[in-house]
Amino acid sequence: MNDHKTPSNLPDSTPSVSILDKWGVSVSELSELVDGNPSLRGILLGYIAELKFEQMYLHEHGLDSTKDDDHDRTKKGDRRLEYDGHDLIVEVKSLQTKTVKYNSETGVWSGSTQVDGSDRREVLFSDGSFLTTTLLQRGEFDILAVNCFAFGETWKFAFALNEDLEISSHKGYTQAQRSQLIKSMQKVTWPPQPPFTDDFELILKRAWDKKQKRWHSTD
């Protein structure tokens, strides 16, 4: 008879359990922590938004995707997917809760999303100049997907092409540099107004068309 037992510090083959059970935390305790710590809420909401985007849009359109390593500064993308022969990079961002407003007269929600990198890095521009910044570049990704859960607490997204987003207005940068950098805070409304749309299929086709034109221009 084999009385050997698996050491408690090693993984076993038992089914995975809820992370709340694993940590010994109740739903009410976690809710209190999330509500009382905006930074924790932002981190959780950001990752949940990526999951919801994948479930609601990528699975719906039968698209497979990969995620770039968060620590790899040479790659930028919350989701990298293949659409009709082209790789498309999607940045998934969320609204800044403190900016969210509702106009009861017009029925329009408004808010802003922060579209920049988590770390400062050196950027090379077409004129040969360099700049250390957290701002993202034109062409660094293809599609911006903004989680608009804060607009009425239902899961929905607004989409825009990278090149249609507002450019930086930073006075310390040259015009050439500003034209190649995306403004950190982008305004979003619901219902979406240009350059945003809630039509994911449309934004996919537009992003594909842009890639196709660039691909042919380099032939």
Residue 14 lies in a domain: no
pLDDT classification of 1: cutoffs 50, 70, 90:
very low
Residue 8 lies in a domain: no
Residue 9 lies in a domain: no
CATH number, domain containing residue 195: 3.40.1350.10
Q: pTM of the full predicted structure?
A: 0.85
Overall average pLDDT of the 82-88 stretch: 87
Residue 188 lies in a domain: yes
Residue 12 lies in a domain: no
Overall average pLDDT of the 163-189 stretch: 95
- Reply yes or no on whether the pLDDT at 169 is more than 60: yes
Residue 140, pLDDT score: 92
Residue 35 lies in a domain: yes
Domain containing 44: what range?
Answer: 21-217
Residue 14, pLDDT score: 52
Strands 143-147 and 86-94: parallel
Short-list 184, 165, 162, 147, CA closest to 88: 162
70 against 168, higher pLDDT: 168
**Total domains in the fold of the chain:** 1
- Reply yes or no on whether the pLDDT at 2 is more than 50: no
Please return the burial class of 118, using the count of CB atoms within 10 Å of its CB with bins 0-12, 13-18 and 19+: exposed
Residue 3 lies in a domain: no
Overall average pLDDT of the 71-97 stretch: 83
Residue 76, pLDDT score: 62
Residue 106, pLDDT score: 97
Contact predicate 181/129, CB 8 Å: no
Residue 76 lies in a domain: yes
Please return the burial class of 81, using the count of CB atoms within 10 Å of its CB with bins 0-12, 13-18 and 19+: buried
Contact predicate 149/76, CB 8 Å: no
